[in-house]
Structure formats: C-alpha cells, structure tokens
Structure 1
Amino acid sequence: MPLQAHVVAPSRTAHVLEIIKGAILSGDLAAGSPLVETDLALQLGVSKTPVREALKTLEGTGLVVIRPYLGATVREMSYEDAAAVYDMRLLLEPEAVRRTVAAGGRLSAAERALERAREADGGVARSAANREFHRALYEGCGNPLLVASLDGLRDQTSLVSVAAWARRASWETEAAEHEEILGAAREGRADEAADLVRRHVAAFLDRLPKQDIDPAPPSP
C-alpha cells in the first residue's frame, strides 16, 4: 500500500508517525502486514531513523509488534486482546468520568467531538471523534496517572472499533449512548454518567461476537 506524503523537518518523526498510524487505523495497512523500515522510508521520502522511531512509538501504543530479527508488523488484535482492553476501560473509565462530572469539568470539548462524530463520513474519522469524546469526559478527573492510563488504551480501542465496524456497523447505537452520557454529564449527575459509561463500554464488547475481531482462518 503506497503511503502518500513527503515529510520535512522539524517534525519528521511526528509526521511519519501520523501517516503510518492513520494507515493502520484505516485498514490500508492490514493486521499482520510487515512494516519494513527501508520501504516505508522510501515511500515517505525520509531516512530510516524517523521511521524506526515512529514504529517504536506505535509499538508502545499497541498498534505495532516488533520482534527481534523478524522486524515490525501491524498488530493482529484477537478477541482476547479486545476483551482485555475493554476490561481495563471498565475498571478505570467510569470512575474517571464520575470524578470529572462531580468536579464540574468543562464539557465543550466533548460536545464538539460528538458533533464531529455525527458529521464523520467514515469509520476512521468517526472513531477518532469518539476517542476524543471519551477523553474529554475523563481528562478532568484530577488524577494525571488515571488519565495517562486511559490515554494508553485509546489507539487499541480504535483498532478494535474500526475492525468491528467493518464487519458489523454499530456506530448509530453507540452515538445514541454517547448522547445519553453527555446529557447526564451536562446536568451534573456524576453517578449516573459513570453508570452509563460502564454500560456503554460493556455493551460494545457484548455486541462484538468473537468472529468479528479474530482474524479469519485461511481458505482451504
């Protein structure tokens, strides 16, 4: 898959990172695809150094797997991987949202993200807006370590949701749930907002049959 863009300093690594990340989350770089530094550098018009740095960063966010002597590949997300990501969110996110709402956190960023999600013309843009919506609701919790932990799950959450939507669109249901969460948050109902977030996260995994996320078996 040819990657488009000739990137320039001083943000070369950041540009390379965003291009590769976008290709992964859009499905242009499919799960299991090899990520060869030399090839990517040639396509993007950069040296191998920013490509190598970008791949290391993407490994840290859970989108890329790097194996010694074998190189880098796009992560193949199993149902068990998805369940682990959503289990972590269930443990952390409802409480973070409850604290944000209880503290009277500003909701303008969440409102803007929800509007972008409504206007999105594809799964990648919609997933990005949804991630921003969730972050806007938990970032005011008052605990930087809690925010950082949830931030660390964002790209893996997106990888799961885009893969799932490609087989079974459920974004309209999720959009309605987002509206309900925001409504409770606007009215300062912290416990209710937390409960709605908990149900929302759990419901997505419940709607995700195992075959919708596990790689399809090879044809006989």
Structure 2
Amino acid sequence: MAFAPSPIPSRTQYVLEGIKHAILTGGLSPGQALVETEIAARFGVSKTPVREALKTLAGTGLVVMNQYKGVTVRTVDAAMAREVYDVRLLLEPEALRRTIASRASLETAREALVRAEEATDQAERSLANREFHRALYLPCGNPLLARMLDEVRDQAALVSTVAWAAVPSWQREAGEHLEILRLALDGDAEGAARALHAHIADFVQRAFPEGDPV
C-alpha cells in the first residue's frame, strides 16, 4: 500500500517560501551564507523549521550544504546553467506540444504575461515569467513530465535572476513570450515548440556564452 508523503509543517513551509522568494528575487545572493540563528530571528521561529526548510531547499538545488562551510545559496556558473537549461530544452518544448494538442486553456499563460508587463520591479517580473512557462507545460497531460520540469524550475529561475542582474534582457524575452503564446493560441504546436526551444537556448547562450570560464 502506497502512502502519501507527510505535508510540510506550516512553520517550515512559511520559512521555506520566504527564503526561496528572497533567493529568486535577488534578496539573497549566490554564495551568501544562510545562518540558522539569523534566519530564525528574521522569521520569528525556532531553528527547527529553519533547518528543515534548508534541507528541502538543498534538495531542490537552491542551496548547498557543506560540512565545513555551512549552508550557502547556490552559486550559478556556466556549467550549472547549461545543465539546467539542457533539461528544459529536452522536455519543455515537448510538453508545450502536448498542451497545444490537448487544446488546454492558455488563459493562465496570458494572464502571466500581463503581470510581467505591468510589474514594477524585477522580483514581480521574474515570478510572472516563471508562471508563464509553467502555464505552458502544466496542462501537457503527463503529470510526471510536469513534475520533472517543476523540479528544475527553481534552479532555472535562479539562473535567470543572476543573468538579469548582469545583463537585463527581459524586454527581448517578453517579445519572445508573446510570439510563443501567439503560435500556441493559433494551434501551431510545432511552431510554438520551435520558438520555445529557441527562446530557452538563446537565453542561456547570451547569459553564459560558450568559452566563458566556469
């Protein structure tokens, strides 16, 4: 008999979401140390939920636990970025093909683009862009495929946060998002998948050109 995993206690979830938001919006920088006592004081909790939250974030690849250095925000380099985006290139266009073939509603994706356009800061824009991409693959009809993409979603967002800090390119990507959505709404599964593949590949190549030091 299979058992569902136990839900994360509310305090742990609260701390986890707070740390994740800070990492993915640039409030915590790659390589920055995460000290349990400081985080506990910041969120008004004991060290136990902080410790559990950090373990979960280590499992998703957002933080690194080291016996000697403690816990730090994961550092983004070219090797890490290409590894994460390679997974996206293999899976995300196919998921979009299936979403379009199923004639699923893309209203959530459209709404995410509106939020990204109206965003007043990079944090809001980053979160809206993440929701846009998820809205394209989530209705693909294969829950395992969607979960696999969810597993690299946070790491991909970390890569984009670092890349945007160095070279803001969100306006260009916003135009690419509009074209992907247009093709998807037209029912052009192959065209939308090609545009999405190019969008993902071009971004990581611009941010981490081949030959850059790792």
TM-score by length of 1: 0.88
Provide the identity percentage.
57
Query: What secondary structure is seen at the aligned counterpart in 2 of 1:65?
Result: strand
1:92 Cα deviation from its structure 2 partner: 0.4
1:150 Cα deviation from its structure 2 partner: 0.4
Contact 2:63/2:72 (<8 A) preserved = yes
1:162 Cα deviation from its structure 2 partner: 1.2
Q: Which whole-Å CA distance do the structure 2 matches of 1:56 and 1:138 have between them? A: 27
Give the 5 Å matches for 1:186-201. 186-201=185-200
Are residue 32 (structure 1) and residue 31 (structure 2) matched? yes
The aligned residue for residue 96 of structure 1 is 95
Contact 1:61/1:155 (<8 A) preserved = yes
Are residue 134 (structure 1) and residue 133 (structure 2) matched? yes
The aligned residue for residue 15 of structure 2 is 16
Contact 2:25/2:126 (<8 A) preserved = no
The aligned residue for residue 6 of structure 1 is none
Are residue 143 (structure 1) and residue 142 (structure 2) matched? yes
Give the 5 Å matches for 1:152-171. 152-171=151-170
Q: Which whole-Å CA distance do the structure 1 matches of 2:42 and 2:117 have between them? A: 34
1:41 Cα deviation from its structure 2 partner: 0.8
Q: Which whole-Å CA distance do the structure 1 matches of 2:203 and 2:68 have between them? A: 37
Contact 1:77/1:214 (<8 A) preserved = no
Contact 2:76/2:162 (<8 A) preserved = no
Query: What is the CA RMSD across the aligned residues, in angstroms?
Result: 1.8
How many matched pairs?
A: 205
The aligned residue for residue 109 of structure 1 is 108
Deviations 1:2-44 (A, max 9, x none): xxxxxxxx72111111211122122222111111112211222
Query: What secondary structure is seen at the aligned counterpart in 2 of 1:35?
Result: coil
One-letter identity of the residue aligned with 2:91: L
Q: Which whole-Å CA distance do the structure 1 matches of 2:47 and 2:123 have between them? A: 27
The runs of at least 4 consecutive aligned structure 1 residues that moved more than 6 Å come to none
Q: Greater shift after overlay, 179-188 or 10-19? A: 10-19
Q: Which whole-Å CA distance do the structure 2 matches of 1:117 and 1:214 have between them? A: 32
Are residue 52 (structure 1) and residue 63 (structure 2) matched? no
The aligned residue for residue 121 of structure 1 is 120
The aligned residue for residue 83 of structure 1 is 82
Q: Which whole-Å CA distance do the structure 2 matches of 1:34 and 1:72 have between them? A: 6
Q: Greater shift after overlay, 171-180 or 63-72? A: 63-72
Distance 1:214 1:57, change over 3 A: farther
1:47 Cα deviation from its structure 2 partner: 0.6
One-letter identity of the residue aligned with 2:104: G
The gaps in structure 1 that reach 5 residues or longer are 1-9, 216-220
Query: What secondary structure is seen at the aligned counterpart in 2 of 1:140?
Result: helix
TM-score by length of 2: 0.90
1:71 Cα deviation from its structure 2 partner: 2.0
The aligned residue for residue 184 of structure 1 is 183
Q: Which whole-Å CA distance do the structure 2 matches of 1:203 and 1:160 have between them? A: 14
